Amino acid sequence: MTREAVIEVRGLRSQFGDHVVHDDLDLDLYRGEILGVVGGSGTGKSVLLRSIVGLNKPRAGEIRVFGKDVTRLTGATREAFERRWGVMFQDGALFSSLSVRENVEVPLRAVPGLSDTDRRGLAELKVAMAGLPVSANDKFPSELSGGMRKRAGLARSLALDPEILFLDEPTAGLDPIGAAAFDRLIVELRDALNLSVFLVTHDLDTLHACCDRVAVLAEQRVLTTGTMEEMMQVDHPWVHEYFHGPRARAAISGTAESR
């Protein structure tokens, strides 16, 4: 059975001045999967995410989302397309002067015909789906813990019922129990909402708990993709060290214990 790619990146080149971050990079995200994107610091995981969602202009290459090259879309067509994905940035990227509910209402303001009451209700629904208590709705970002801020960012990324969810290091800075709860939430949301998930992470536990496939960025491209089992067989120094090092062994035994 052929899998449907909802994102197809082909021949991507990303560059800042003389600094080439990606060169001839190819990557697919398949419908319904959770893809973990890993790689050493500075290999361009965030730049790749930002390039796909249009925050970074590629020097060359194609980025097709649902079959359309999004690098060529402009104006209203582009905006309509952007409603089909949600992005959760590492720090939540919340507006500090708005409450959690108001933050989630921001993308909903683009939806025509919604009354204030409808918008408020929809925002509260997304806040609940992100696992926050009702009391979080009226809180400001500065009144939230790091984990709650991440959930608020997640709620906002879900505001427009996206088909693709981009998560940039969702568990960074969380304690292990909070991180494990977030991993479960990602899987539950993918299953309940039929999401395809592009997940940038350094967290081996997250890879074990959530990801159907892993893509490794190294040497300015996607070096290899595959399941966690397949990653264990890859004969490349960084990949081997990452998937067989002491932290990898701890993550594997942690997964086994939790079963």
Minimum CB separation from ligand ATP for residue 99, in Å? 29
Does position 44 interact with ligand ATP (CB under 6 A)? The reply is yes
Rg of the chain over Cα atoms, rounded to whole angstroms, equals 18
Applying CB under 6 A, the site for ligand ATP has a residue count of 10
Say if strands 5-16 and 60-65 run parallel, antiparallel, or are unpaired: antiparallel
Minimum CB separation from ligand ATP for residue 248, in Å? 17
Does position 45 interact with ligand ATP (CB under 6 A)? The reply is yes
Q: Which stretch binds ligand ATP (CB under 6 A): 44-52, 91-99, 104-112, 222-230?
A: 44-52
**Cα gap 35→161, rounded to integer Å:** 19
Does position 43 interact with ligand ATP (CB under 6 A)? The reply is yes
Does position 16 interact with ligand ATP (CB under 6 A)? The reply is yes
Query: How big is the CA angle at 14 (ends 168 and 44), to the nearest 5 degrees?
Result: 35
Per the CB < 8 A criterion, the answer to whether 32 and 7 are in contact is: no
Distances (CA, A) of 245 to 56, 184, 193, 233: 33, 24, 35, 13
Does position 42 interact with ligand ATP (CB under 6 A)? The reply is yes
Phi/psi region, residue 191 (left: phi>0; alpha: psi -120 to 50; beta: rest), is: alpha
User: DSSP alpha helices (H): ranges in the chain?
Assistant: 45-52, 75-82, 100-108, 116-129, 146-157, 176-193, 204-210, 228-231, 237-244, 246-258
Of the pair 12, 155, the CB lying nearest ligand ATP is at 12
Minimum CB separation from ligand ATP for residue 43, in Å? 4
**Cα gap 165→187, rounded to integer Å:** 12
Does position 46 interact with ligand ATP (CB under 6 A)? The reply is yes
The residue from 36, 39, 58, 141 that contacts ligand ATP (CB under 6 A) is 39
Q: What are phi and psi of 148, to 5 degrees?
A: -70, -35
Q: Which stretch binds ligand ATP (CB under 6 A): 41-49, 114-122, 123-131, 206-214?
A: 41-49
Does position 47 interact with ligand ATP (CB under 6 A)? The reply is yes
Minimum CB separation from ligand ATP for residue 170, in Å? 13
Of the pair 45, 149, the CB lying nearest ligand ATP is at 45
Q: Which stretch binds ligand ATP (CB under 6 A): 38-46, 80-88, 111-119, 247-255?
A: 38-46
Chain residues binding ligand ATP by CB under 6 A are 16, 21, 39, 41-47
